[in-house]
């Protein structure tokens, strides 16, 4: 039996929650240690990047173009769960994802592979939902991050479906997320089991994105994935100790 460890911290850049996830090595897989966004990239987080970057590609015209494709909603205006995709940025290209990610985490940022993403989802699927307010999160979450989490939670709570951590983090029933098909291969796909609010006829198959990745797919968002330093231990755990499902 293998122990996993989960811990919630605040992202120093934007004050949104990050989940620290450590997956020990098994006979067939190496150890994985990530910090993963609690939810896909929101407009609020992207706007932090825009307020600091001097990269002219991300100017007002670019923003307006993104906005016109997928819309933007304030968390305090979210009245129906089906509106949730408008909290999140969708349609970024791989290059844009990499630029934004580097601003966030420097060399620690990665675009995960299908396998890495699925590993994270697998762990979250086995967990009960977590109460963010129960954690003493440092650095503290920003009011808008709390607002977004609460709004999503409040709307999802009305559903009868038995939820787990993966549902809560929108690793299931959320968006598709941009990942690499495999390490060393530049092919980009959209992964996930998206909500019907995102795809009318959803399936869990991979959505292959165009070669060259120039088109913007409205279904596809991104999530912050940061590699952890090697010396991170399972100490200071304010999260959830969980058991291997295998």
Task: By CB under 8 A, name the binding residues for another protein.
Answer: 15, 43-44, 47-48, 50-52, 56, 59-61, 63, 67, 72, 74-77, 142-144, 147
Minimum Å gap between C-beta 197 and another protein is: 21
Please name the residue that has the structure tokens 């090697």: 230
Backbone angles phi, psi at 114, to 5 degrees: -55, -45
- Check if the beta carbon of residue 70 is closer than 8 Å to that of residue 90: yes
With respect to another protein, which residue has the nearer C-beta, 14 or 168?
Answer: 14
* Cβ 76 to another protein shortest distance, Å: 6
Which is nearer to another protein, 46 or 110 (by Cβ)? 46
For another protein, give the closer residue by CB, 128 or 140: 140
Give the C-alpha separation, 39 to 120, whole Å: 13
For another protein, which is the closer residue by CB, 142 or 213? Answer: 142
Considering beta carbons, is residue 20 or 42 the nearer one to another protein? 42
Give the pair of three-digit tokens for residue 161: 């479906």
CB of 57 to another protein, least distance (A): 10
Q: To the nearest whole angstrom, how small is the minimum distance from the Cβ of residue 47 to another protein?
A: 5
Q: Contact, 156 vs 164, CB < 8 A?
A: no
In angstroms, give the least distance from the CB of 64 to another protein: 8
Q: With respect to another protein, which residue has the nearer C-beta, 72 or 216?
A: 72
Q: Kindly state the smallest distance separating residue 207's Cβ from another protein, in Å.
A: 28
């Amino acid at each position: 039996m293998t122990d996993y460890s989960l811990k919630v911290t605040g992202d120093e850049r934007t004050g949104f929650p990050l989940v620290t996830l450590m997956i020990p090595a098994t006979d067939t897989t190496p150890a994985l240690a990530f910090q993963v966004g609690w939810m896909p990239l929101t407009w609020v987080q992207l706007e932090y990047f825009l307020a600091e970057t001097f990269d002219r590609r991300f100017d007002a015209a670019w923003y307006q173009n993104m906005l016109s494709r997928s819309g933007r909603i304030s968390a305090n205006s979210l009245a129906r769960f089906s509106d949730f995709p408008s909290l999140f940025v969708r349609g970024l290209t791989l290059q844009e994802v990499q630029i934004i990610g580097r601003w966030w985490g420097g060399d620690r940022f990665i675009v995960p592979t299908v396998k890495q993403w699925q590993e994270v989802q697998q762990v979250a699927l086995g967990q009960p939902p977590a109460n963010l307010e129960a954690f003493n999160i440092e650095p503290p979450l920003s009011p808008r991050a709390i607002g977004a989490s609460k709004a999503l939670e409040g709307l999802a709570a009305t559903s009868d479906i038995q939820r787990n951590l993966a549902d809560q983090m929108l690793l299931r029933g959320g968006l598709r997320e941009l990942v690499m098909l495999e390490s060393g291969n530049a092919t980009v796909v959209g992964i996930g089991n998206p909500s019907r609010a995102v795809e009318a006829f959803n399936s869990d198959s991979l959505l292959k994105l165009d070669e060259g990745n120039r088109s913007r797919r409205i279904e596809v968002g991104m999530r912050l994935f940061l590699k952890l330093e090697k010396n991170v231990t399972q100490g200071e755990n304010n999260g959830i100790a969980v058991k291997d499902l295998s």
